[in-house]
Amino acid sequence: MDLLNEIKKGVVPQHVAVIMDGNGRWAKQKGMPRVFGHKNGVKAVRETIEAARNSGVKALTLYAFSTENWKRPKTEIKTLMTLLVTSLKKEAKSLDKNNIKLQVIGNHDLLPKVVIDGLNKVIEQTKNNTALTLTLALSYGSREEIVNAVKNISKKIVKGQVSIEEIDENIINNHLYTFTLPDVDLMIRTSGEKRISNFLLWQIAYAELHFTDVLWPDFTKKDFYNAIIEFQHIERRFGKTSAQIRTSNEI
Ligand code: IPE
Ligand code: IPE
Ligand code: MG
């Protein structure tokens, strides 16, 4: 495929995060209930995982359900949870076969047991896989994650395991749910909304942001590849000047 060949010539983002948005509006456009959009969003998830794997992206983090999404109608939440369990069951084999490792981030106290059990099974099954780390952000909120990190660091200070002087960016990073992942290089949001909605606030400090009007159920591999190609044309300066970037090998 042409787009993929072009991608392979450039630097591929290590970590891509996706805010999968627009299922409800997609369904509404078709005169259908919101849950119809969620059901049709599953295919786009599959496309995105395959596209990330094909591109050589090492980490893909998908925003599946936010801490704020608990405020939605109970029936919609139930459909989303059921969809997650059935999709996991269907996709487990294919994830494993494609050398993809599944992990989850978020506050899972509120998740139904059937969801936790379903997730744990696939996490265990895929734990030694190395081609791509697929992280599902589930019942995830970035502020909740930061609060949780502050609490855990404070506990260590009280116990004398960490001193206040030792606190640095690394220590904070290591107490976030994403501690095993590199910073996000590219964040994609579908549906035309240009906001972050409490997703990976710390981790996107220097991410490139890609917003597309495509509604999530319509998102395809091609859309993903185009986002990567756009990313590859951006000069990432990390505070330096353009001249410095062009004359130095180190970023
Ligand atoms: C994204 O689509 C899926 C979740 C947030 C779970 P939405 O359900 O937010 O769809 P819109 O934004 O209402 O169209
Ligand atoms: C963000 O989408 C959460 C997920 C994609 C899971 P929302 O649709 O919940 O975001 P807002 O509330 O419109 O910002
Ligand atoms: Mg939405």
CATH class of 13-250: alpha beta
Task: Tell me the CA–centroid distance for residue 62 and ligand 2, in Å.
Answer: 12
Q: For the CA atoms of the chain, what is the radius of gyration?
A: 19
Range list of H helices, 103-219 = 113-126, 142-158, 169-174
Token look-up 């009007």 returns 213
State both tokens at 88. 């996991």
Task: State whether the beta carbon of 18 lies less than 6 angstroms from ligand 2.
Answer: no
Domain boundaries, the chain: 13-250
Minimal-distance CA residue to ligand 2 atom 3 = 66
What is the C-alpha to C-alpha distance for residues 24 and 35, in angstroms, rounded to an integer?
A: 7
Q: What is the mean pLDDT of the chain?
A: 97
What positions carry a catalytic annotation? 21, 69
pLDDT score, position 250:
55
Does this model's pTM top 0.85? My answer is yes
Q: Give per-10-residue mean pLDDT for the chain (251 aa).
A: 93 98 98 98 98 98 98 98 97 98 96 97 98 98 98 98 98 98 98 98 98 99 98 96 85 50
Task: State whether the beta carbon of 192 lies less than 6 angstroms from ligand 2.
Answer: no
DSSP bridge pairs for 18: 62, 188
Nearest-5° Cα angle at 189, 173 to 28: 135
DSSP bridge pairs for 17: 61, 187
Q: Which of 104, 101, 95, 105 is nearest to 127 (CA)?
A: 101
Q: Which of 40, 189, 191, 218 to mutate to test the pocket of ligand 1 (most atoms within 8 A of CB)?
A: 191
| Contact present, 52 and 132 (Cβ < 8 Å) | yes
- What percent of the chain has a predicted confidence (pLDDT) above 70? 98
